Structure formats: structure tokens, C-alpha cells
Homo-oligomer: A and B are copies of this chain.
Amino acid sequence: MDTRTLCLGALTSGPATGYAIKKHFEDTFGYFMEVSHSAIYPALAELLQEGLVTVSRVEQETRPDKKVYSLTPAGRVRFQRDLAASPGKHRVRSEFLVLMFFAQWLPPERLRAVVEAQREEFLRLRDAVDCWLREHGSDMPAGMRFTAGYGAAVIRAAIDYLDAHRDELLAAPDTAATASPVDEAASLGPLQPA
């Protein structure tokens, strides 16, 4: 899923500037798809050249000038084609979980800090999604409500799991990080013995 396709998708909700598209992404699917502004502007320029969007410059006195982009019929068709062509892969890339996986190699206070930080982040996300659902949920198409509800459900499960198993993890006695520097006896043996 290309930044260009994402921009076309954002524009299906109406004309917008690059800045507004970025905001839109953050407010809606920010938690499952990050898009940086430095990827959006070049993408919009390419879409313009391909005739998939049009642009109109809007002068503002109190603010910098805007470039408001709109979807052309060709752009709408292209978006549907690209969307349908996407394999729809779902991937999680979590350094947080890698840290938890190797918890025993982390200093206990660092481990605690990481867990707490992630929990705070999840609470923040949960509240943001709940807020969005309350304020915009009823106006939005089924798909957008679905993803918001999905996010809320999964984040809640994560928070519950953290709360239920945090102590178990933090109280772990096998802190290799504070044990003797070289402790070969603690090895689990060779991986995948031949």
C-alpha cells in the first residue's frame, strides 16, 4: 500500500491539502498506518502529473498559502483499482514485544519503565478511539466504524493483558541482566539441534 493510494483514499472524503491529509490520517487510522508528511507532498505531486488529482491554490492572509487537492474521476477509479489490488497484509512490528521477549536481559527498572510507557500509550490510544467513535462514529461509513471498533477491542485486550500479567513479568527472579556476566550454564542449549 503506497502513499499515493493512501492520499487518493483520503481525498475520497473531499478536497484537502497535504497538511490536512496528514492530520486526517493521524486522526483516523493513525494507529495502524503511519504516513509522514515528507512522503505525502511528493506523492501528491506525482498524482497531479498523472491527472488523478487536481489542485487549486488558495491564498490566505493570516496563514501560508494552501494547495487544495481534489480527486478526479480517473483518480477515483484508480483508487478503487489499487485498493482492490492490495493483498491486505496485516503486520505488527513491535520492538516493545521484542523487549518483553528478552525481558531477562533488561535491567529491571528499565523493563518496568518500558511496560509503563507502553501501557500509557495504549490508554491514550484507547481514549482517542473512544472519543472519535463518540464524536464522529455515527456519521461515518461502516468501514471506518469497523476499524475504530477493531482498534478499541484489540487495545483493550492489550491493556487487560498487561494489567493481568505485568507483575508476573516484573517479579521474575531470572534477571540474567544482573546475574554474573558470563553464565554459560544458564544456556538453553543449541537451537534446532541437527
Contact = CB atoms under 8 A, between A and B. Distances in A.
Interface of A: 1, 6, 9-10, 12-17, 19-21, 23-24, 28-29, 31-34, 58, 60, 63, 66, 68, 73, 76-77, 79-80, 83-84, 86-107, 110, 114, 117-118, 121, 139, 141-144, 146-147, 149-151, 153-154, 156-158, 160-162, 165, 168-169, 172, 174, 177, 181-182, 187-192, 194
A192 B126 CA distance: 23
A34 to B, nearest CB: 7
24 contacts: A1-B98, A6-B98, A13-B188, A14-B189, A16-B190, A20-B190, A20-B192, A31-B92, A34-B91, A76-B181, A80-B177, A83-B105, A89-B94, A89-B96, A91-B92, A92-B92, A93-B93, A100-B143, A100-B147, A100-B150, A141-B172, A142-B169, A146-B169, A154-B158
